[in-house]
């Protein structure tokens, strides 16, 4: 798709305010909380720190794009089964991070898994079940 946009527009603001794709959340807006995590060419990134103009030609996947019209993605399903959220605000970013973790395929220990997920903060502190879901997603991928 082609877009005409002011160069200081971040990917996050473009998704939420121009495309109305509000599944991607704005938390800190400074790359510290991970609520805005999306996938660029399969890699998880903080969309609040990416200028849209610099992403010409990239494939961007948001939480809206991980499921099909009728079915949740396996990652979403596992998050539900493991009760891996409380308020749900951080969940889109958490799920995008688990997808990127599977794409990268470099997790060899529990410590590495926790480190991979540490860029996604959860103010409800549902970390125990988030970690459990992330582990299951990685093992079943």
Partner 1 sequence: MKPFQYTRLSTEDLSLGTTLRDSTILAGGTNLVDLMKYGVEEPDSLADIGKLPYAQIEESDKGLLLGALVTNADTAYHAAVKSTYPVLNKAILAAASSQLRNRATNGGNLLQRTRCYYFYDTTMPCNKREPGTGCAAIKGFNRIHAILGTSASCIATHPSDMCVALAALEAKVHVLRKGETIVIPFDQLHRLPGDQPEKDHNLEPGDLITHIQLPAEGFSEHFEYLKIRDRESYAFALVSVAACLKVSQGKIADIRVALGGVAHKPWKLKEVEKDFFGKEASTENFQSLAEQLIQGAQGFGTNDFKISLVKGAIVRALNNALNPS
State the DSSP string of the chain. ------TT-BHHHIIIIIS--TTS--SSSSSSS-TTEEEETTEEEEGGG-BGGGGTT--EE-GGGTS-SSS--HHHHHHHHTT--SS-SSHHHHHHHHHHHHHH----SHHHHHHHHTTS--TT--HHHHHHHHHHHHHH-
> By C-beta, is 54 or 71 nearer to partner 1?
54
- Name the minimum Å distance from CB 55 to partner 1: 9
> By C-beta, is 104 or 123 nearer to partner 1?
104
Among positions 118, 123, 124, 128, the unique one binding partner 1 when judged by CB under 8 A: 118
Positions that interact with partner 1 (CB under 8 A)? 6-8, 10, 29-31, 34, 37, 40, 43-46, 49-51, 53-54, 56, 97, 100-101, 104, 106, 114-119
């Amino acid at each position: 798709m082609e877009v005409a946009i002011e160069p200081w527009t971040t990917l996050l603001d473009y998704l939420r305010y121009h495309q109305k794709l509000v599944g991607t959340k704005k938390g800190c807006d400074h790359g510290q909380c991970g609520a805005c995590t999306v996938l660029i060419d399969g890699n998880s990134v903080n969309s609040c720190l990416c200028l849209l103009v610099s992403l010409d030609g990239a494939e961007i996947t948001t939480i809206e794009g991980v499921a099909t019209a009728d079915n949740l993605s396996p990652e979403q399903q596992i998050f539900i089964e493991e009760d891996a959220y409380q308020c749900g605000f951080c969940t889109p970013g958490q799920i995008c991070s688990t997808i990127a973790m599977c794409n990268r395929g470099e997790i060899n220990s529990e410590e590495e898994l926790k480190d991979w997920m540490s860029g996604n903060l959860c103010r409800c502190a549902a970390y125990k079940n988030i970690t459990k879901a992330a582990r299951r997603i990685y093992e079943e991928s």
